[in-house]
C-alpha cells in the first residue's frame, strides 16, 4: 500500500511515540496536584510549554493545549465571538476553510451572526481588496487558513495583519493546521496582529488527539470547555502532560528539519506535476507557489471519488477534499479558483510527506496511467 494522504494524517514519528511513553511512565501524577509528584509533573508541563512557545515565537501563557485543531478552531471562533459580541456580529471568512472552521461559523450564522465570504483569486489567495471592502465597524472576526487543506494555497497573512491595523476591534483567527511545522511562521514579530492560531500535531507526525490554540495574552476568550482548576482558565480538564510533551517533540523535529523536509517534498511534487502535465485531460488545481505538501488534481470526465476508488484498488491512497468534508459534493476551493463545477467534482488531492519515497511516487504514476487510460 502506498499512502499519499498525509494532508489528512501523518504517522507518528518513533521519537514522538518514545517521548510520549517516557513522560507517561516518568510522571504519574496530575500536574495540578499539590503533592511532590504533582509538582514534578507541573514542572515538566511548564518546561514543555516554554520550549514549544520558543519554537512558535510565542509566550508560554499564550499556549492552550487542546485535543487538536478542531477543538482549537471551535474554541477560537466561538470564544472570540462571544467575548467580543459587544463589538458586533459580522464575520468575514473564505470558502477555503476546513469544516472545523466553517461548521462553527455556520452555527453562529444560525444564531444571528452575519457571515460573509471574501473572494478568492485564481492563485488561491484571498482577495485583500475584497476583505477591505467587507470590513465594517461591527466586524468582530476575520478567519483565514494560513494554508488551505485542499489547494495548498499560502495566504498573505502579513498583508491581512496590516489591513486589520485600522480595525483594532476586529479579531483575527488563523487556522494553522497545514502550516505549523511545514513553513516559516511566527506568532509574534510581523504577525502580532494575529489573535489566535490553531494547529494539530498529527499533521506533522505527532500523535492524533493533541494540538494547541495560541491566544494573544491580552485577547479575551470565553471558555469552550468548563471545569475545575487547570493550567489555563480557558480550558478545563486534567492537563495531558504526555500528549503535550509528544506534541513538542513532533514540532521540534519538524522545525529543526524543516528545510531538509521541504526540499525533498518539493522534488517529489515537481516529479509528479511534470509527469501529470503530459496528460491532456489533467488539470493541476494547486498554485505553483503553494505548499508543496498538497497537490490538487482533476482528470476531465472522471469524478474525483471514482478516480480515488480506481487508485485505491491498486493500493494507492489519496483523498477527495478534506477527510472531514461532506462526500459527493464539489470542492469549494477548486471551484473558487477554476469557476468550473465539473472540474471541482473531478478533483482529488495528493498529500505528500518527507517520508514519501521516490519509488512510491513512481508506482503511483504507473497506477495513475492505468486509471487514466481505463477511465
Query: Which residue numbers are catalytic?
Result: 324
* Dihedral in degrees, nearest 10, Cα atoms 32, 38, 39, 43: -80
Q: State the DSSP code for 65.
A: E
Taking each helix axis from N to C end, the angle separating 99-110 and 69-83, rounded to the nearest 10 degrees, works out to: 30
User: Phi and psi dihedrals of 90, rounded to 5?
Assistant: -105, 130
What is the Cα–Cα distance from 8 to 285, expressed in whole angstroms? Answer: 18
Q: Which residues of 51-78 are buried (b: 16+ CB within 10 A; e: fewer)?
A: ebbeebebbeebbbbbbbbbbbbbbbbb
Neighbouring residues of 333: CB distance < 8 A, sequence distance ≥ 6: 95, 96, 120, 124, 148, 150, 151, 153, 296
145, 175 contact by CB (below 8 A): yes
Other beta carbons less than 10 A from residue 186's beta carbon: 14
H-only helix segments in the chain? 14-26, 36-56, 69-83, 99-110, 128-134, 157-163, 241-256, 258-276, 304-313, 332-338, 341-345, 358-374
* Dihedral in degrees, nearest 10, Cα atoms 65, 66, 72, 78: -100
Amino acid at each position: 500500500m502506498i499512502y499519499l494522504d498525509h494532508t489528512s494524517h501523518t504517522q507518528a514519528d518513533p521519537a514522538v511515540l518514545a517521548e510520549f511513553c517516557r513522560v507517561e511512565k516518568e510522571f504519574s501524577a496530575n500536574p495540578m496536584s499539590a503533592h511532590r509528584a504533582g509538582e514534578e509533573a507541573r514542572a515538566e508541563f511548564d518546561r514543555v510549554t516554554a520550549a514549544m512557545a520558543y519554537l512558535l515565537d510565542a509566550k508560554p501563557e499564550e499556549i492552550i493545549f487542546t485535543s487538536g485543531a478542531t477543538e482549537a478552531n471551535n474554541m477560537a471562533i466561538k470564544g472570540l465571538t462571544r467575548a467580543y459580541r459587544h463589538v458586533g456580529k459580522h464575520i468575514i471568512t473564505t470558502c477555503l476553510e476546513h469544516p472545523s472552521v466553517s461548521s462553527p461559523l455556520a452555527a453562529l450564522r444560525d444564531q444571528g451572526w452575519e457571515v460573509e465570504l471574501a473572494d478568492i483569486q485564481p492563485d488561491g489567495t484571498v482577495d485583500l481588496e475584497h476583505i477591505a471592502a467587507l470590513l465594517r465597524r461591527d466586524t468582530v472576526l476575520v478567519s483565514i487558513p494560513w494554508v488551505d487543506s485542499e489547494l495548498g494555497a499560502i495566504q498573505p497573512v502579513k498583508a491581512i495583519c496590516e489591513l486589520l491595523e485600522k480595525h483594532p476591534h476586529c479579531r483575527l483567527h488563523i487556522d494553522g493546521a497545514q502550516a505549523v511545522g511545514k513553513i516559516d511562521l511566527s506568532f509574534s514579530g510581523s504577525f502580532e496582529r494575529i489573535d489566535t492560531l490553531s494547529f494539530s500535531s498529527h499533521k506533522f507526525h505527532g500523535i492524533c488527539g493533541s494540538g494547541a490554540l495560541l491566544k494573544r495574552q491580552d485577547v479575551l476568550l470565553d471558555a469552550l470547555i468548563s471545569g475545575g482548576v487547570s493550567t489555563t482558565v480557558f480550558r478545563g480538564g486534567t492537563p495531558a502532560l504526555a500528549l503535550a510533551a509528544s506534541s513538542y517533540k513532533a514540532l521540534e523535529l519538524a522545525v529543526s528539519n524543516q528545510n531538509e523536509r521541504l526540499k525533498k517534498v518539493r522534488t517529489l511534487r515537481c516529479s509528479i506535476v511534470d509527469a501529470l502535465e503530459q496528460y491532456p485531460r489533467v488539470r493541476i488545481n494547486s498554485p505553483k507557489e503553494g505548499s508543496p505538501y498538497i497537490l490538487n488534481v482533476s482528470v476531465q470526465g472522471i469524478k474525483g471519488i471514482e478516480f480515488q476508488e480506481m487508485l485505491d484498488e491498486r493500493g494507492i491512497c489519496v483523498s477527495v477534499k478534506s477527510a472531514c468534508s461532506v462526500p459527493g459534493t464539489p470542492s469549494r476551493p477548486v471551484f473558487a479558483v477554476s469557476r468550473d463545477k465539473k472540474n471541482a467534482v473531478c478533483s482529488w488531492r495528493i498529500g505528500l510527506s518527507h517520508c514519501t519515497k521516490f519509488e512510491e511516487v513512481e508506482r503511483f504514476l504507473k497506477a495513475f496511467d492505468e486509471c487514466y487510460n481505463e477511465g
